Structure 1
Amino acid sequence: MSSISTSLIRFNTFGLPARCRQLVLARTQAELIAACMQHAADAVPPLILGGGSNLLLLEDYLGTVIKVETKGITVSEDSEHYRLTVAAGESWHGLVEFCLQQNIAGLENLALIPGTVGAAPIQNIGAYGVEFSAVCDWVEYLDLNTGKLARLSHDECQFRYRYSVFKGALRGRAVVLQVGIVLSKCWQPNLIYGPLQSLAGQATPQAVFDTVCRVRSEKLPAPEQMGNVGSFFENPVVSAAHFSQLQQRYANIVGYPQPSGEVKLAAGWLIDSLGLKGYSVGGAAVHQQQALVLVNRGNATSSDVLGLARFICQRVKAAFEVELVMEPRVYAARGEWSNVL
């Protein structure tokens, strides 16, 4: 049996000191498909890795890690839309910058989200009032069961908040190869979130991009300076009646009405209101500037991170009767965990 020899510390933005049995860098789509199919039937399934920015490694991985490094962006247009085909290994923020350089608007609210394009549909990434689902045309993936390529339309992806079919029926079976993005030429700014409202009446795609980058940089530490995975918890969604009850007890509680009639709570506000900024367990801590972010102060272990996350969940549950859900995907030695807390 081969040894656990390859370090993954620089391939996960939380900076946890895990290793794997083998690391494969797939730089072309053909290499990615070949590597996935070679290891699809392994006793320990391959871990498909993008930017490592939404990943929590609990221990050494006993299988093969396949890092997606495919590149390529093509653009076509008609009278009303731009249509982009983007390889899964492209940097998401790099794509946002590329679009602005080409005078293509619509992705600027999603600036500085770490990770790769291939992860965007899986998690249905979102920020500042915009989700990936709003711009997704289609997603092409490799089916590990059949070895065939398939393409899903927007509706077939079953998008909802931080969810898609890739976290449901296709979980562990699909490897995203490329995505299709459609952006209207009739740009309308989305300024519903606080810091962006100051741009009303003078918003441009570049101004929105600059504001989002500034705000995110102020609140979120760069992973190379302090390990983190960005937002650690999803914003919980509660019934209107539950929100009304919470408002009576916490007048300043932050909530955003949803089309369903429910209300999305700001998880960062819940954690902050409990005085947990700076709270730590071992080398893991709640970030001082943004309570939704957990950070590695330099020597965190996976036990530290899970211990801190569990403590936060317990405190939030006791105070608000709300269950927090972790955003990052969690991997133990032999595969992904679906329920850690």
Structure 2
Amino acid sequence: MVNLKNRHTLSLQASCNNLYEVENIQDLDSLDLDHQHYFVLGGGSNVAFVEDFDGDIVTFTNKQLSITENDDSWLIETGAGVVWHDLVLQVTQKGIGGLENLALIPGNCGAAAVQNIGAYGVEFSALCKGVQTVNIKTKEIKELTNPECCFGYRNSIFKSTAGSDLLVTKICLQLPKKWTAKLTYQGLDSLTTGATPLSVMNKVIEIRQSKLPDPAKLANAGSFFKNPVVTAEVACVLKERYPEMPTYHQDKNGVKLSSGWLIEKAGFKGKKVDSIGTYEKHALVIVNYGQGSGQTLLRFVRDIKEQVRDLFSVTLENEVLLIGKNGVINL
């Protein structure tokens, strides 16, 4: 058995049968996973192992990086094992714009594609040219275009049945040289029109560090729930009851609500049960204060979802994957 406590940032006690660290696609040839239960793990910042996993873990560790300059854009190709924030730092410090709003998001580059990460008005999908994958069972290598990745809000083909056997090995980003700062979100709007990619990145880091705990110091998996999207009619009703409720219009896709605000309004900000609780500065972040268990986490998450549903008639969906004995647990 392999201990997984240090393999996911919520640091819950759990184990798996075997853990395979794969640096090159060719290394997969030695693995026979055709009939075995397995799970693909990245940096572990968006996963919570709530009990022992009865299977094997595969993680791709390649950290190759190349930056190519074209006439009107930059092409960034990086192995799935590169830490996302390290990539943002390296690219932005070269004066290349496009990634700055996504600074300090934990996890690896492969997981950025799987999760379609986003922050401060920017999503991974808007920057992604394509993703290289390998089918773990057939060993077939395939380059997926952006449309073939089926990106959605914190979603992609890699989280569906169709992509369940696909291991992300490399991502390719295309960043236009014609750069425009995206400063519409609160906190960034204080920057001047003379903002640079570096100044925006530094501001994003400052804001995130003021609100979110460092997983290395306080175990957490970042934002635990997705921001729910409701119809304009539902948002209107809720606004009448709660005029102070923040809302974000999503064009034809409805209105996005703030999960953090809903959870705080339901009385969970700073609440703690045993060693599991919400962060005192941000209700959207669930933390492990030291000896938290997977079962306590599950009960706590269920309580949050139930209270928010009862109070607002809105169902929260967890962004963090909960992994149990047989794989993903859906609450």
Of residues 13, 16, 24, the one that matches 2:12 is 16
Q: 1:77: which partner in 2?
A: 69
Q: Aligned letter for 1:327?
A: E
Asked if the contact 2:40–2:58 (Cα under 8 Å) also holds between the matched residues in 1, the reply is yes
How many pairs does the alignment contain?
A: 331
Q: 1:117: which partner in 2?
A: 109
Q: 2:205: which partner in 1?
A: 213
Of residues 236, 255, 261, the one that matches 2:228 is 236
Matches within 5 A, 1:1-341: 4=1, 6-31=2-27, 33-34=28-29, 38-44=31-37, 46-337=38-329, 339=330, 341=331
Q: Aligned letter for 2:272?
A: S
Query: Which blocks of at least 5 consecutive residues in structure 2 are unaligned?
Result: none
Asked if the contact 1:73–1:86 (Cα under 8 Å) also holds between the matched residues in 2, the reply is yes
The Cα of 1:39 is off from its aligned counterpart by 3.5
Q: Distance between the aligned counterparts of 2:79 and 2:58, measured in 1?
A: 15
Which region of structure 1 is more displaced relative to structure 2, 48-57 or 269-278?
269-278
Q: Aligned letter for 1:164?
A: S
Q: Aligned letter for 1:43?
A: Q
Asked if the contact 2:25–2:134 (Cα under 8 Å) also holds between the matched residues in 1, the reply is no
Q: Distance between the aligned counterparts of 1:177 and 1:262, measured in 2?
A: 34
- Any idea what the Cα deviations from partners look like across 1:226-250, whole Å, max 9, x if unmatched? 1110000000000001000000000
The Cα of 1:59 is off from its aligned counterpart by 1.1
Q: For residue 89 of structure 2, give the secondary structure of its aligned residue in structure 1.
A: helix
Q: Distance between the aligned counterparts of 2:216 and 2:205, measured in 1?
A: 17
The Cα of 1:261 is off from its aligned counterpart by 4.8
The Cα of 1:169 is off from its aligned counterpart by 4.0
Asked if the contact 1:96–1:108 (Cα under 8 Å) also holds between the matched residues in 2, the reply is yes
- Any idea what the Cα deviations from partners look like across 1:177-230, whole Å, max 9, x if unmatched? 101100010110111210100014231111111111111111111112111100
Asked if the contact 2:93–2:198 (Cα under 8 Å) also holds between the matched residues in 1, the reply is no
Q: Aligned letter for 2:71?
A: S
Cα pair distance change 1:282/1:127, threshold 3 Å: same
The Cα of 1:104 is off from its aligned counterpart by 1.2
The Cα of 1:101 is off from its aligned counterpart by 2.4
The Cα of 1:102 is off from its aligned counterpart by 2.0
% identical equivalent positions? 37
Asked if the contact 1:271–1:291 (Cα under 8 Å) also holds between the matched residues in 2, the reply is yes
The Cα of 1:50 is off from its aligned counterpart by 1.1
- Any idea what the Cα deviations from partners look like across 1:271-317, whole Å, max 9, x if unmatched? 11223111122211011001100000111101111111111111111
Cα pair distance change 1:321/1:93, threshold 3 Å: same
* TM-score when normalising by structure 1: 0.94
- Any idea what the Cα deviations from partners look like across 1:156-194, whole Å, max 9, x if unmatched? 111111111111243421100101100010110111210
